[in-house]
Amino acid sequence: MIKSDRILGLVTILVALAYIASAFQIQASFLTDPVGSKTFPILIGAVAALCGLVIFARPDPDPEWPEMSGWLRLALATAVMIGYAYGLKPFGFVLTTALAGAALSWMIQPRIVAAIVTGVGLSAILYAIFKFLLGLGLKPWPAALTG
């Protein structure tokens, strides 16, 4: 089994090289200064690549990675959050928050009733706090319903 840190080192080097390559593409303004737009990013990329090499050459012991089921739960949690991010604007705060809150709650403690109560409760309480106490202009309901 290849050590995690070797992978980290390799990924770092690749990303750093891509970053440097991308830095060379930065358009130069004709009103330029002695250092220019590219130097600093290239420098950062170079140092990062060096760090990648060191990490690759001298890896630390592996951390304890989660089991397959653990990865699945994490992927699911990420998916819920991404869905929440996309849904917040078109579907309004109340519905999406209740759903996402319930889903996350269920992932932490798989009890369906408690999760639903948590989701709905959080949605209502947080809406009240944000709307009336902090005065954030959140839209509560889907745009399609309110026009």
- Binders of another protein in range 22-81 (CB under 8 A): 22-23, 26-35, 37, 40-41, 44-45, 47-48, 51-52, 54-55, 58, 60, 63, 65-66, 70, 73-74, 77-78, 81
Minimum distance from residue 135 beta carbon to another protein (Å)? 4
Q: Is 119 in the site for another protein (CB under 8 A)?
A: yes
Nearest CA to 26 out of 45, 12, 10, 9 is that of: 45
Q: How many helices (H) and strands (E) does the chain have?
A: 6, 0
Interface pick for another protein out of 19, 95, 120, 142 (rule CB under 8 A): 19
Task: Tell me the angle at which helices 112-128 and 93-108 cross, rounded to the nearest 10 degrees.
Answer: 140
The residue assigned the tokens 């002695």 is 34
How many residues does the structure list for the chain?
147
What residues numbered 90-109 form the site for another protein, per CB under 8 A? 93, 97, 100-102, 104-109
Minimum distance from residue 127 beta carbon to another protein (Å)? 9
User: Which residues neighbour 109 within 8 Å (Cβ) at sequence distance 6 or greater?
Assistant: 115
State the DSSP code for 18: H
Q: Is 122 in the site for another protein (CB under 8 A)?
A: yes
Minimum distance from residue 41 beta carbon to another protein (Å)? 5
Alpha-carbon separation of residue 133 from 89, 93, 103, 126, 139 (angstroms): 21, 16, 26, 10, 15
Q: Tell me the site size for another protein, rule CB under 8 A.
A: 76
Interface pick for another protein out of 114, 124, 128, 145 (rule CB under 8 A): 114
Q: Is 85 in the site for another protein (CB under 8 A)?
A: yes
